[in-house]
Structure 1
């Protein structure tokens, strides 16, 4: 049986191709309705049939990818601004203060932790973040030289070193910040996956980040979640009900999702439990 993999935050999920009617770009043009389900984001017509759409990011990760991206973008902008303000203040002190200045970059150590511990599946973004280290460490070293020159009253050398920082390290860091922000924005191409239970009519729409690839699976490829939930953690009933198992990919697992049981009314669960558990796999 053929599956299609989709990206949802840091997770990869799989759907049977027979459970999918259509995928289309998400243009944020849904009709919103009053509701208490935070993953329900609105209604979209499929062949003139109003279809509820749910954000799989909220269901699986407790936060939408859009919100997660916005948080990272805010962090990048904050550090970009902090770094520039720190340098401007230091430059002003070096050029105008006659008092001795000590090297104090302790406030920037959190920035080092931020880019060194930054975690993402986007290889381009991961590479960009790793490239912040070289110009930043070079900037700190040159700043130490400028402070030393200042304390020795060598103001000509101070000016030369500050210009060197502005022409080299700061420009490199600014470009890397802008590149990282652009990659986060460009990598997010959300789509709606219209699912079906009968191959004809829409069941629900699922918002995912993007399409990954197609894979073929066999019975032995599906690994049960039962063993995982026996070792000290459990999944909430809604999430557990829709997850049918794990499929080993090259470097990680994909979560097999059964869309037919997503948000199923409680009264229907028992009558369809046998069909749900089998999910047409075996």
Structure 2
């Protein structure tokens, strides 16, 4: 059986190639309709057939990748602003020769935790975030040197160190902040996967982040979800109804999805699960 893998946030999902009519870039040009389903994002014509489109990120992750990206961007901009204010305050106190000068590093400790624990499947963004540590530690060390020089009354040395910080560690951190934000913004190019139940007419469109690869799998490669869902996993019935199994990959698993079961009434999902209607093999 030939499958195509797609990325949805941090998850990988698989669809049978026969369930796919077409993939196209999402240009945010859907027709919106009043509804109470937060994953429904609008209607798109496929060969003049109005087709509902759902955000698979919301279905599987409870949050769209777009919203997740906005949250990360907000965090980065917040830390960039906080770091700038921190240094400006330090610089003002040093240049004004404040007698009660204390370098408050605790204000930035949460940022250390943020970039050390930051996780992403984007290799370029992951590399950028990993580069924060060195200039950040250098910034703190140079700030300590400037404070020490201030306490010893070496005011020319203080001015020299402040200038050095701006040219080196602070400038490098600013470039990393801008690079990370740019990668998050430019890397997000979602696509709509138009699915089908009969090979001709569209069923639903699914918004995913990107196409991964196409692979052939055998029956023994697909592991059932029964043991996982029977031990207390709280999976939404609609989501559970469309999941058909796990496929072992190099480092993780892909979730095999039956798009024909998305938003199907529960009683019909049970019927599908107990038969071979999906035609896996």
- Contact map agreement 1:100 1:151 (CA 8 A) in 2: no
**C-alpha separation in 2, matches of 1:47 and 1:71:** 36
Gaps of 5+ in 1: none
Q: Name 2:176's counterpart in structure 1.
A: 176
Q: 1:269 to 1:256 in 2, by over 3 A?
A: closer
Gaps of 5+ in 2: none
**C-alpha separation in 2, matches of 1:18 and 1:64:** 26
**C-alpha separation in 2, matches of 1:222 and 1:98:** 68
**C-alpha separation in 2, matches of 1:216 and 1:273:** 22
- Contact map agreement 1:55 1:64 (CA 8 A) in 2: yes
- Contact map agreement 1:8 1:65 (CA 8 A) in 2: yes
**C-alpha separation in 1, matches of 2:77 and 2:206:** 31
TM-superposition CA deviations, 1:120-167 (whole Å, max 9, x none): 111111111110000000010010010010011110000000000000
C-alpha deviation, 1:31, in angstroms: 0.4
In the superposition, the TM-score normalised over structure 2's length comes to: 0.97
What does residue range 1-282 of structure 1 map to in structure 2 within 5 Å? 1-266=1-266, 268-269=268-269, 272=272, 274-275=274-275, 278-282=277-281
**C-alpha separation in 1, matches of 2:117 and 2:241:** 33
Greater CA deviation, 163-172 or 101-110? 101-110
TM-superposition CA deviations, 1:49-106 (whole Å, max 9, x none): 0000000000000000000000000000010011011101100000003404223211
**C-alpha separation in 2, matches of 1:11 and 1:89:** 42
Secondary structure in structure 2 of the residue aligned to 1:102: coil
C-alpha deviation, 1:231, in angstroms: 2.9
Count residues in correspondence: 281
Secondary structure in structure 2 of the residue aligned to 1:30: coil
Structure 1 stretches of 4+ moved >2 Å: 265-275
TM-superposition CA deviations, 1:232-279 (whole Å, max 9, x none): 32311101000000001111100000001101145644665544x552
Secondary structure in structure 1 of the residue aligned to 2:12: strand
Q: 1:19 to 1:188 in 2, by over 3 A?
A: same
TM-superposition CA deviations, 1:207-233 (whole Å, max 9, x none): 000111111100000011111123332
**C-alpha separation in 1, matches of 2:273 and 2:104:** 64
